[in-house]
Amino acid sequence: MFDKGYKFNLIDKKSVVNSDLLTTYYYNFRGKRRYIVLVEEYINKVFVVKFYPRAYHDSPNKYNVLVKDYDAARVIKTSIDIMLFLFENNPHASFGFIAANSITETQEENKYYNKRFQIYSQLMADFFSSEIFAHISSEVNSAYLLVNRCHADIDTFTDSVLKMFIRNYPDLETEH
């Protein structure tokens, strides 16, 4: 089901200064409709991957829409292929994502352990070895991190990645 993705192209790249975020890469691909994949490269080679249908570019819910094309498997696999491509070119890369809750005209799914998170976390287990990446998740936030184990002090590195995630994603649910 998740065996085949679409061919993707790098269409743009924007650098940012004075921030944890260094560069944003824009990939596109065409499935049953056109998609944009945003890859944000943060310090320490941490890549955050996001995608949305191009037609929803200006929508505030572009990450939350359900398009009902019955093409999710190939679309998601294309994003995984982009992650594998990035890993090939950056062997020290770590990855992260937050699975968006679905929002339709009539319903809004909870952020907690949402449908996309359940699918994506299964795919992370399927495609990314635990020998190379430490798999770390937050079900409350539907967030997932693949921390590259190449770092000598992985505990310190993991903590710095988590702190960076908290810094850059202020909507994360916190403990009190």
Partner 1 sequence: MKTGDVNNTNVKPKRVLLTKRGVITSVYGNKKVSFRYISPSELKGIRRAAYDYLIK
- Which residue ranges make up the site for partner 1 (CB under 8 A)? 80-81, 84-85, 87-88, 122, 125-132, 134-141, 143, 145, 147, 149-151, 154-155, 158-159, 162-163, 165-167, 172-176
Closest approach of partner 1 to the CB of residue 120, in Å: 12
Closest approach of partner 1 to the CB of residue 133, in Å: 8
Half-sphere exposure of 39 (CA within 13 A, CB side): 27
User: Between residues 53 and 75, which has the closer beta carbon with respect to partner 1?
Assistant: 75
Crossing angle of helices 115-127/72-89, nearest 10°?
Answer: 50
User: Between residues 45 and 53, which has the closer beta carbon with respect to partner 1?
Assistant: 45
DSSP per-residue string spanning 136-158: EEETTTTEEEEEETTSSSHHHHH
Closest approach of partner 1 to the CB of residue 78, in Å: 11
User: Between residues 55 and 162, which has the closer beta carbon with respect to partner 1?
Assistant: 162
User: Between residues 59 and 110, which has the closer beta carbon with respect to partner 1?
Assistant: 110
Closest approach of partner 1 to the CB of residue 67, in Å: 24
Tell me how far CA of residue 158 lies from CA of 46, 61, 155, 161, 172, in angstroms.
11, 30, 5, 5, 17
CA distance 171 to 161: 16
User: Between residues 64 and 158, which has the closer beta carbon with respect to partner 1?
Assistant: 158
**Cα dihedral 163, 158, 125, 21 sign:** positive
Closest approach of partner 1 to the CB of residue 168, in Å: 10
Q: Which amino acid is at 21?
A: L
Q: What's the farthest any 2 CA atoms get from each other in the chain?
A: 49
